[in-house]
């Protein structure tokens, strides 16, 4: 009898253990619906609001224009900030640095021109920096990664590229840092305002994750950690500064908090529930240490124009 009781207690304990291991025990989700004729991407946030680029299509699925939208945190009613790119130019990426400044990357795939704009708190253009000379002529459809550090330096990666391009705040190229035998995931600022890159190192006997700081003076990477402080079987797309932690990191399988020098990260979201719907994850960013926003979309061809069913998914943990 005692043996049966002990076995029953162990079974119940193990079931509770599995439940807490594989469920988001402290994560809640709020899903807000909206419809719009744009495809949202490049999502960022400052202390008060969130911003994203919206691409608009014609009935044939061709890009018509792109605009920057703004919305209050916790809501799903964005508005156009009113900053328009020149004819034939499109916004492709935006970034908010640690000083809460909003930057936009835009380019013209006809005239071969690329610029970075800095915007004021009133969403007026403070500065335009021409960076056409650093973007290859065969790769004029935006960048795969874009960041700005606390000194105003720009960090860019071209699609299919294997290097990080570093520019001064005047657009002058400072250096190009190659990946080497590492596989790039994402780059972004830490809480200290410096830019870091997250890699995986698949060539080793067992795959590991590497995080490096970009050293401008040495024009090289300084490794901060190498190991399994993040799951090696995930793909990471967001690396942002935390409020109390050094980094907030989002992968395909979860979201994490991480501090430099620590052996392990802390997983804060185990899964993204929007995956249960027939929606494709479009873009995401952290709103603070305890909240992540994902804008997911389901695109289909309407009778007269492209329509996007869009969900604003707020994850609190």
> Which range (61-70, 85-94, 183-192, 258-267) has the least confidence?
61-70
* pLDDT tens-digit readout, 157-208: 998 889 999 999 999 999 999 999 999 999 999 999 999 999 999 765 577 9
Query: Among the ranges 54-68, 238-252, 279-293, which has the highest mean pLDDT value?
Result: 238-252
- Are the beta carbons of 54 and 36 closer than 8 angstroms? yes
Rounded to 10 degrees, what is the CA torsion of 305, 77, 277, 303?
A: -10
- Looking at the chain, the whole-number percentage of residues with pLDDT higher than 90 is 55
pLDDT at 16: 33
Burial class of residue 22, CB neighbours in 10 A (0-12, 13-18, 19+)? exposed
> Phi then psi for 68, rounded to 5 degrees?
-100, 130
Tokens describing residue 70: 């703004």
pTM value is 0.84
* pLDDT tens-digit readout, 105-161: 998 866 578 999 999 989 999 999 999 988 876 655 668 899 999 999 999 999 888
- Are the beta carbons of 57 and 301 closer than 8 angstroms? no
């Amino acid at each position: 009898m005692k043996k049966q009781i002990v076995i029953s207690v162990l079974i119940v304990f193990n079931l509770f253990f599995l439940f807490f291991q594989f469920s988001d025990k402290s994560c809640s989700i709020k899903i807000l619906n909206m419809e719009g004729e744009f495809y949202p991407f490049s999502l960022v946030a400052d202390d008060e609001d969130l911003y994203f680029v919206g691409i608009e299509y014609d009935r044939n699925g061709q890009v018509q224009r792109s605009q920057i939208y703004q919305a209050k945190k916790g809501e799903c009613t964005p508005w156009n900030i009113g900053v328009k790119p020149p004819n034939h130019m499109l916004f492709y990426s935006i970034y908010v640095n640690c000083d809460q400044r909003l930057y936009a990357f835009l380019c013209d795939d006809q005239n071969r021109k690329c610029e970075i704009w800095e915007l004021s708190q009133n969403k007026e253009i403070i500065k335009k920096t021409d960076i056409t000379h650093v973007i290859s002529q065969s790769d004029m459809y935006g960048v795969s990664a874009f960041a700005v550090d606390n000194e105003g330096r720009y960090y860019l990666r071209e699609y299919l590229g294997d290097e990080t391009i570093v520019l001064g705040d005047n657009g002058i190229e400072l250096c190009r840092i190659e990946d080497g035998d590492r596989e790039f995931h994402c780059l972004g600022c830490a809480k200290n305002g410096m830019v870091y890159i997250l890699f995986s190192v698949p060539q080793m006997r067992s795959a590991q994750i590497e995080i490096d700081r970009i050293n401008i003076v040495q024009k090289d990477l300084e490794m901060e950690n190498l190991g399994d402080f993040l799951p090696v079987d995930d793909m990471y797309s967001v690396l942002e500064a935390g409020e109390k932690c050094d980094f907030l990191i989002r992968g395909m399988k979860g979201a994490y908090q991480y501090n430099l020098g620590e052996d392990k990260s802390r997983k804060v979201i185990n899964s993204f529930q929007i995956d249960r719907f027939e929606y494709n994850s479009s873009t995401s960013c952290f709103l603070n240490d305890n909240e992540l926003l994902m804008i997911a979309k389901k695109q289909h061809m309407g009778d007269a124009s492209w329509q996007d069913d869009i969900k604003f998914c707020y994850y609190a943990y």
